[in-house]
Amino acid sequence: MHHALITGANRGLGLEHARQLLERGWHVSAAVRNPDAATELAALAEGEGKLDIHAYDAADPASAAALAAVVTGPVDLLFANAGMASGETRAFGQAAGAAMLDEFRVNTIAPLALVEAFAGQVEASEMKVIALQSSRMGSVRENESGGAYGYRSSKAALNAIGKSLSIDLKDRGIVVLILHPGWVKTDMGGPQGQLTVQESVSGQLDLIARAYGNPVMSGRFYHVSGQDLPW
Ligand SMILES: NC(=O)c1ccc[n+]([C@@H]2O[C@H](COP(=O)([O-])OP(=O)(O)OC[C@H]3O[C@@H](n4cnc5c(N)ncnc54)[C@H](OP(=O)(O)O)[C@@H]3O)[C@@H](O)[C@H]2O)c1
């Protein structure tokens, strides 16, 4: 049975990843801020696959190591999905403040801490895939509307981290995908989003399946459609 660890799995894209992987018979370790409140996630335990729910706060630098103490065994897919966008860092004139550090803690540093804590377990697995949930908003080239200082820069920095990871983990057979899920109807994406969570996640899982044993995909920034995005 393949094993995935997914952060931010209590709602939005992370919840749908858990649902679709469980349907495919995977073992899913779901990492969420508040396990007691993750009722929609907990209900998925009744289907196929195997579900474990663990406490994890991406804003706490010690949380990844604590998670690695309880999530044992090989991890075929490590999915750093949890993310946030602060309204306080959106507009020019008031963006540079403490909220920007929160975005960097959650969107940038936490995924790296997760990979540092779990690289050995990913290496020990059959698939050896790491997915970083980035955003097209982190593309410097594609920025045509400005603003979103904290979110854009924290995702651009995540992209830089993903590229370094792809190089540093290459000899261990690990493939690192940097992903844009599309504009998706979630709490973050809002109701105007162009894709449903089902559409986005099935596209992302197709990309992940292609990445298995395919090192040429490592360190690239992919739109959910499968196209490369510019940095
Ligand atoms: N939706 C889009 O259009 C879109 C586009 C590009 C990229 N993305 C990225 O996709 C990922 C998922 O977004 P989404 O659309 O599913 O958003 P969402 O519905 O707002 O869900 C965000 C998830 O991240 C979790 N999270 C936030 N801060 C956390 C923390 N400190 N520790 C642990 N978990 C934390 C949330 O947990 P709580 O429920 O506890 O808050 C929630 O599970 C994010 O990285 C986002 O940047 C989304």
Average per-residue pLDDT for the chain: 97
Q: What is the per-residue pLDDT across 120-167, written as a single tens digit (0 to 9) for each?
A: 999 999 999 999 999 999 999 999 999 999 999 999 999 999 999 999
- Using a pLDDT cut of 70, give the percent of the chain over it: 100
Strand ordering across the sheet containing 3-7:
50-55, 27-32, 3-7, 77-80, 129-133, 175-180, 220-223
In a domain, 163, yes or no: yes
Segment 84-108 mean pLDDT: 97
CA angle 178, 73, 2 (to 5 degrees): 60
Predicted pLDDT at 49: 87
Answer yes or no: is pLDDT of 168 > 90. Answer: yes
Instruction: Name which of 76, 168, 156, 58 is nearest 114 in CA terms.
Output: 58
Residue 8 lies in a domain: yes
Does 198 reside within a domain?
A: yes
With contact defined as beta carbons under 8 Å apart, do 129 and 175 qualify?
yes
Determine the angle formed by the axes of helices 63-70 and 110-123, rounding to 10 degrees: 30
Buried b (16+ CB within 10 A) or exposed e, 209-230: eebeeeeebbbbbbbbeeeebe
> Considering its fold, how many domains does the chain have in total?
1
Please report the atom of ligand 1 found closest to the CA of residue 134. 7
Q: What residue numbers bound the domain in which 115 lies?
A: 3-223
Residue nearest to atom 1 of ligand 1 (CA): 189
Atom 46 of ligand 1 has which residue's CA nearest to it? Answer: 83
151 within domain boundaries: yes
How many other C-beta atoms can be found within 10 angstroms of the C-beta atom of residue 48? 12
Bridge partners of residue 52, in order along the sequence: 29
Gap from CA of 89 to ligand 1 centroid (Å): 17
Asked if pLDDT for residue 73 goes beyond 90, the answer is: yes
User: Distance between CA 104 and CA 110 in Å, rounded?
Assistant: 8
Other C-beta atoms closer than 10 Å to the C-beta of 137 total 19
First-last CA distance in the chain: 35
pLDDT of 48 over the 90 cut: no
Question: Ligand 1, residues 107, 136, 137, 186: which to mutate, most atoms within 8 A of Cβ?
Answer: 186
Domain of 109: which CATH number? 3.40.50.720
Quick check: is 83 in a domain?
yes
Residue 231 domain flag: no
Which residue of 188, 196, 223 sits with most ligand 1 atoms within 8 Å of its CB, as the best mutation to test the pocket?
188
Whether 56 is in a domain gets the answer yes
Encoded amino acid at 164, one letter: S
228 in a domain, yes or no? no
How many A from CA of 188 to the centre of ligand 1? 7
